[in-house]
Amino acid sequence: MARPKIALIGAGQIGGTLAHLIALKELGDVVLFDISEGTPQGKALDIAESGPVEKFDASLKGTNDYADIAGADVCIVTAGVPRKPGMSRDDLLGINLKVMKAVGEGIRDNAPDAFVICITNPLDAMVWALREFSGLPHEKVVGMAGVLDSGRFRHFLAEEFNVSMRDVTAFVLGGHGDTMVPLTRYSTVGGIPLPDLVEMGWTSQEKLDAIVQRTRDGGAEIVGLLKTGSAFYAPASSAIEMAEAFLKDQKRLLPCAAYVDGALGLDGMYVGVPTVIGAGGIERVVDIKMTRDEQAMFTKSVDAVKGLVEACKGIDPSLA
Ligand code: A3D
């Protein structure tokens, strides 16, 4: 059977890291696309030349031509600009919306059967716009944020409890931004929910609240340290987990920015929710029950995403 074909739209910090991870994990052949001439070609060749040392079998091609993504099984989109210190993700809206139009049309014309994972910020609005511009089925276009946000949460919790990150599960809901909703009730260490661990004296409520806030600010913390761009290693790993779930029909339960129509009281919008990813793309949106406080936080987050979607419609009338 031929190797899967994975197209990476955007060959910047995340795009290059994605290509490297795909090769190391032998997930498929890589086509790295960018408008910048030489960047995708250079990164593809550099990674390919590590093949004899790393002993992977994968072909890597860099290109500036959308025709080269033809027939891709997965497209991962990072095209656009990242934020700089002091910027919010929402400040990127205008410029990245134009990029989503070009990318959406490129995918529509060349890889209409692909499972598309969007990473470009502001995430929830950009994945919505990318779906609109591409016209692909909703279940095949999804945004990566929740895996990263819950990964950050799990890392901080594992450090606090001095336990393996493998035994920490975390649950986040809502938009990728300051309003994201880490659900402590559904987050566990070895199956023990966080509120129980507070009662057991493993940590204090104050410390847990601080970890929740650090998770919300996780992206800004890295931007502040790097000064020249945003996080890319953990975002790339997170998108790879989603791509692998699709390619291997793993039926993983992962938090993603998915199209929700009916579940969680929503009627047709993209926002971060628990999903099942398998060969069909987003095969299920998990309709969880929320307490009144959780519902209030989720509604606030949903409203923030709706505001950004309206802003997109104001910028590009074809979306209205
Ligand atoms: P960067 O290293 O700047 O790479 C972006 C690449 O996109 C550059 O190589 C550009 O040349 C390219 N590009 C620009 N316009 C186009 C176009 N029209 N077609 C094709 N390529 C184009 O950024 P990055 O890789 O660090 O980040 C990429 C995006 O991901 C940014 O929008 C970030 O804000 C976002 N991001 C999201 C998360 C989430 O968790 C959702 C995390 C980290 C970064």
* Mean pLDDT value across residues 83-90: 85
Q: Distance between CA 195 and CA 201 in Å, rounded? A: 10
pLDDT tier for residue 62 given thresholds of 50, 70 and 90: very high
Residues of the chain with CATH 3.40.50.720: 5-144
Return the sign of the alpha-carbon dihedral for residues 62, 78, 238, 72.
Answer: negative
CATH pick for 5-144 out of 1.10.10.10, 3.40.50.300, 3.30.499.10, 3.40.50.720: 3.40.50.720
Q: Whose CA is nearest to atom 13 of ligand 1?
A: 79
195-209: burial string, b at 16+ Cβ within 10 Å, e else: eebbeeebbeeeebe
Q: According to the annotation, is 211 in a ligand binding site?
A: no
Helix (H) or strand (E) holding 129: helix 123-134
- Average pLDDT of the chain? 96
Closest by CA to 77, choosing from 36, 114, 45, is: 114
> What pLDDT, in 10s, does the model give residues 278-317?
999 999 999 999 999 999 999 999 999 999 999 999 999 9
Whole-model pTM?
0.98
**Widest CA span in the chain:** 58
What is the reported pLDDT for 179?
A: 87
Burial grade of 152 (CB within 10 A; 0-12, 13-18, 19 or more):
buried
Q: ipTM higher than 0.85?
A: yes
Residue extent(s) of CATH 3.90.110.10 domains in the chain: 146-313
Model confidence at 89, pLDDT cuts 50, 70, 90, reads confident
Q: Which residues line ligand 1 (CB under 6 A)?
A: 9-15, 34-36, 39, 78-83, 92, 96, 99, 102-103, 119-121, 123, 144-145, 148, 176, 229-232, 235
Q: What is the dihedral of CA 229, 231, 237, 240, to 10 degrees?
A: -50
Q: Express each pLDDT in 165-197 by its tens digit.
A: 999 999 899 998 788 898 999 999 999 999 999
Task: Tell me how far apart the alpha carbons of residues 115 and 281 are, in angstroms, rounded to a whole number.
Answer: 6
Which is the closest atom of ligand 1 to the Cα of 103? 19
Q: Which CATH architecture has domain 146-313?
A: Alpha-Beta Complex (3.90)
Residue 87 has pLDDT above 90, yes or no: no
pLDDT, tens digit, for every residue of 148-170? 999 999 999 999 999 999 999 99
What average pLDDT does range 52-68 have in this prediction? 98
Tell whether the model's pLDDT for residue 249 goes beyond 80.
yes
Q: What is the mean pLDDT of residues 55-74?
A: 98
Identify the pLDDT of residue 178: 83
| pLDDT at 308 (0 to 100) | 94
Distance between Cα 167 and ligand 1 center (Å): 32
